C-alpha cells in the first residue's frame, strides 16, 4: 500500500466498504515501510504486533462509518509517549524507556482506534534541524538519499513523503514540523501554542513546544488536527477555546478572495536562496491571481529570532533535562562511586553532543552574572518579535514567506558548524516565539528539491491558515509530485 494520491476519506471509505480489511491495509503499510527502511531509516521502532492485533479487533467489529481515523495507519514521533511501546526521544539516555502511560494526543487517537505503525526518528530530544543528532540513525530525504530530511521531525517527514502513511505526528519547538515538511515536499502544521496538549510529550522548551501533523495533503492535516486539539487538565497551557472542525470548509467553495496577505521583506532577503525566493514570488502572484491582496511589510526584529531562540530554548531545555539523572529511569553509567558520579557520568555518557551544547548554553544563560545580559535580554527581545506579528496582524489576515532559506542540504555538511546549523531556523523560530500557528505547504522546486511556502496565521486562527493552504494546494500540482525512491544516484 502506498498512500500517494489518496486521502483519509478515500481510504476510510475503502475500509468501511470492506474493499480492503484493516489487517490487509496494516500489513501492506508495514511491508511498504520495511521495503524503504534500508534507504530511509525513518523509524526507530515498528509497532507490528500491536498494530496487527488492533487491526484484527477492528476487522471483527467493523470500521465505524462515522470515524475517519478508525483503522487508519499513522506514525508517531518518538518523543511522544506510547504506553508499552519503547519511547526514546532518539537519546541513548532513554534507550530502553517503556512509557507507563500514553501522551494525551495518542490517547485521543486511540479513542478513535487509529493504527500506530511505529515511532519515527528525530534529532535527540528534538534538538536539531536535520535529524542527524539522533543517537541511533540518520534518516535520509526520499527526494535525494544523500540529503537530510530536515529536523527534528525528520523520520515523520520522510515516511509521509515516501508515501508510507497519510500522516505522522511531529513536534515543533523552533520549526521541527515545518522545516522537514518543506524539505520533503509535504504539508506540516504547527498549531497555536495552547491548542494541543503536550502531556506525555518529552519536554524540550516548554514555552515553545507544540504537537502537530505532517501529512500528504492539507485537508487530512486539518481533519487530524481537530482530533488532537483541545483543553487537557494535564497541560495547564492548553486553551479552553472551542476546537473548530478545521476541515469543515475545505471544499470546492473555499476561496481566498479578499484575504489580506503580508510578505515581510525580511523573509525575502539575500540570505534566502534565489531559487527559493522565486518559488515564493510565484506563490505570491498565484494568491493575487486568486483574488487575495498581497503587500510587502516589515518585521524588523526577525533577525533577532535565531540568537534569542538559542538563549531561551536551551535555557528551558537545561531545566527540563535535569530530570535525566540516572536514578528513576533511563541510562545509568557503570563504575560509579557515589551519587554525584551517577548524575555526572550518566548524563555525560547518555546525552549526545548537541544536547550537551544546549544544556551548556542554557545553564550559562541562566547562571548568576549572565541572567540579565542573556536570558532576560532574550526574553525582552521575544516580546519585540511577538509585537512584530501583532502589528502586522492588525491589518492582515495572513503572513507568508519561505519555510526554509534553502532546500534540503547534504548529510554531514553542517554537523561540524552548530552556528550554521542554527541559522536554518531563521524563518521558523519567530513563529514559536510568538506562539502563532503556521503551516508549510509544497510550493515548488529549486534545483530539483522541494520548497515549502510558510503560511502564518493569527493566534487560534488555524482555520484561515488551512483555508489558504487548501486553496493554494488545490490550484497547484506541486503536492502531486513524489520522490522516486530507489531510482536515484
Query: Beta-carbon neighbour count of residue 180 at 10 Å?
Result: 39
| String of contacts with other proteins for each residue 82-111, x by CB under 8 A | --------------xxx-x-----------
Distance of CA 211 to the CA centre of its chain: 7
Segment near other proteins (CB under 8 A); pick from 25-33, 66-74, 111-119, 382-390: 382-390
Which one, 38 or 334, has the nearer CB to other proteins? 334
Q: Tell me: does residue 242 bind other proteins (CB under 8 A).
A: no
CB of 372 to other proteins, least distance (A): 10
Please give the Cα distance from 49 to 374 (Å, whole number).
49
| String of contacts with other proteins for each residue 401-420, x by CB under 8 A | -----------------xx-
CB of 228 to other proteins, least distance (A): 18
Catalytic residue set: 77, 152, 176
Which one, 114 or 304, has the nearer CB to other proteins? 304
CB of 379 to other proteins, least distance (A): 4
CB of 389 to other proteins, least distance (A): 10
**Partners of 189 in beta bridges:** 213, 439
Near other proteins by CB under 8 A: residue from 65, 339, 410, 480: 339
What's the sign of the alpha-carbon dihedral 252, 256, 258, 259? positive
Q: What are the grid coordinates assigned to 433, written together?
A: 516565539
Which one, 53 or 380, has the nearer CB to other proteins? 380
- Which of 320, 315, 358, 324 is closest to 127 using CA atoms? 358
Distance of CA 448 to the CA centre of its chain: 23
Reduced to 3 states (helix: H, G, I; strand: E, B; else coil), residue 451 is strand
Residues 145-174 that bind other proteins (CB under 8 A): none
Which one, 45 or 356, has the nearer CB to other proteins? 356
Based on the number of CB atoms within 10 Å of its own CB, is 126 exposed (0-12), middle (13-18) or buried (19 or more)?
buried
CB of 458 to other proteins, least distance (A): 12
| String of contacts with other proteins for each residue 340-379, x by CB under 8 A | xxxxxx-xx--x----xx-xxx-xx--x-----xx-xxxx
Please give the Cα distance from 285 to 51 (Å, whole number).
45
Q: Compute how many residues bind other proteins; rule: CB under 8 A.
A: 68
Q: Tell me: does residue 268 bind other proteins (CB under 8 A).
A: no
Which one, 35 or 333, has the nearer CB to other proteins? 333
Residues 436-475 that bind other proteins (CB under 8 A): 459
Peptide bond into 152 cis (omega under 30): yes
How much of the chain is in helix, strand and coil states, percent to nearest 5?
Answer: 40, 15, 45
Q: At what angle do helices 462-474 and 218-228 cross, to 10 degrees?
A: 160
Q: At what angle do helices 8-16 and 22-40 cross, to 10 degrees?
A: 140
- Which of 118, 190, 83, 111 is closest to 425 using CA atoms? 190
Classify the phi-psi angles of 70: left when phi > 0, otherwise alpha if psi is within -120 to 50, otherwise beta. beta
Q: Tell me: does residue 203 bind other proteins (CB under 8 A).
A: no
Residues 298-317 that bind other proteins (CB under 8 A): 303-304, 306-308, 310-311
Q: Tell me: does residue 194 bind other proteins (CB under 8 A).
A: yes
Q: What are the grid coordinates assigned to 442, written together?
A: 509544497
Q: Tell me: does residue 399 bind other proteins (CB under 8 A).
A: no
CB of 351 to other proteins, least distance (A): 8
Q: In what order do the strands lie in the sheet with 293-297?
A: 43-46, 115-120, 73-77, 167-172, 210-215, 187-190, 438-446, 449-456, 398-402, 260-264, 293-297
Q: Tell me: does residue 336 bind other proteins (CB under 8 A).
A: yes
CB of 310 to other proteins, least distance (A): 7
Residues found near other proteins in the complex (CB under 8 A): 96-98, 100, 193-194, 207, 233, 236-237, 239, 303-304, 306-308, 310-311, 318, 322, 325-332, 336-345, 347-348, 351, 356-357, 359-361, 363-364, 367, 373-374, 376-384, 386, 418-419, 422, 433-435, 459
Amino acid at each position: 500500500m502506498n498512500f500517494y494520491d489518496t486521502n483519509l476519506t478515500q481510504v476510510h471509505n475503502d475500509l468501511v466498504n470492506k474493499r480492503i480489511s484493516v489487517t490487509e491495509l496494516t500489513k501492506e503499510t508495514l511491508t511498504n515501510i520495511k521495503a524503504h527502511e534500508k534507504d530511509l531509516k525513518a523509524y526507530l521502532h515498528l509497532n507490528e504486533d500491536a498494530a496487527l492485533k488492533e487491526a484484527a479487533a477492528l476487522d471483527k467489529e467493523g470500521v465505524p462509518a462515522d470515524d475517519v481515523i478508525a483503522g487508519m495507519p499513522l506514525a508517531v514521533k518518538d518523543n511522544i509517549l506510547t504506553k508499552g511501546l519503547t519511547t526514546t526521544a532518539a537519546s541513548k539516555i532513554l534507550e530502553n524507556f517503556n512509557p507507563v502511560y500514553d501522551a494525551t494526543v495518542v490517547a485521543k487517537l486511540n479513542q478513535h482506534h487509529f493504527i500506530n505503525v511505529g515511532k519515527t526518528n528525530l534529532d535527540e530530544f528534538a534538538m536539531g534541524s536535520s535529524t542527524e543528532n539522533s543517537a541511533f540513525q540518520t534518516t535520509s530525504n526520499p527526494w535525494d538519499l544523500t540529503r537530510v530530511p530536515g529536523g527534528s521531525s525528520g523520520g515523520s517527514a520522510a515516511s509521509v513523503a515516501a508515501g508510507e502513511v497519510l500522516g505522522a505526528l511531529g513536534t515543533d519547538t523552533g520549526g521541527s514540523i515545518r522545516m522537514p515538511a518543506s524539505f520533503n515536499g509535504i504539508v506540516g502544521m504547527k498549531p497555536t501554542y495552547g491548542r494541543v496538549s503536550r502531556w506525555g510529550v518529552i519536554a524540550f522548551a516548554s514555552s515553545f513546544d507544540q504537537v502537530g501533523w505532517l501529512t500528504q495533503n492539507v485537508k487530512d492535516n486539518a481533519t487530524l488536527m481537530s482530533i488532537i486539539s483541545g483543553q487537557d487538565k494535564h497541560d495547564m497551557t492548553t486553551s479552553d477555546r472551542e476546537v473548530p472542525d478545521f476541515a469543515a470548509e475545505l471544499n470546492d467553495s473555499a476561496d481566498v478572495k479578499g484575504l489580506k496577505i503580508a510578505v515581510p521583506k525580511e523573509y525575502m532577503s539575500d540570505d534566502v536562496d534565489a531559487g527559493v525566493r522565486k518559488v515564493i514570488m510565484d506563490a505570491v502572484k498565484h494568491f493575487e491571481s486568486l483574488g487575495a491582496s498581497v503587500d510587502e511589510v516589515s518585521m524588523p526584529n526577525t533577525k533577532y529570532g535565531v540568537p534569542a531562540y538559542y538563549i531561551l530554548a536551551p535555557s528551558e531545555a537545561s531545566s527540563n533535562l535535569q530530570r535525566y539523572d540516572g536514578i528513576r529511569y533511563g541510562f545509568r553509567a557503570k563504575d560509579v562511586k557515589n551519587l554525584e558520579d551517577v548524575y555526572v557520568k550518566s548524563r555525560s555518557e547518555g546525552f549526545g553532543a548537541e544536547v550537551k551544547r544546549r544544556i551548556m548554553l542554557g545553564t550559562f544563560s541562566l547562571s548568576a552574572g549572565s541572567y540579565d545580559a542573556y536570558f532576560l535580554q532574550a526574553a525582552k527581545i521575544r516580546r519585540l518579535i511577538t509585537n512584530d506579528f501583532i502589528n502586522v496582524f492588525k491589518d492582515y489576515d495572513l503572513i507568508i514567506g519561505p519555510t526554509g532559506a534553502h532546500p534540503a542540504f547534504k548529510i554531514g555538511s553542517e554537523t561540524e558548524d552548530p552556528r550554521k546549523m542554527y541559522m536554518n531556523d531563521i524563518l521558523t523560530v519567530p513563529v514559536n516565539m510568538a506562539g502563532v500557528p503556521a503551516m508549510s505547504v509544497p510550493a515548488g522546486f529549486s534545483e530539483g528539491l522541494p520548497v515549502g511556502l510558510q503560511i502564518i496565521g493569527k493566534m487560534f486562527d488555524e482555520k484561515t491558515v488551512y483555508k489558504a493552504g487548501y486553496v493554494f494546494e488545490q490550484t497547484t500540482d506541486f503536492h502531486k509530485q513524489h520522490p522516486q525512491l530507489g531510482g536515484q544516484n
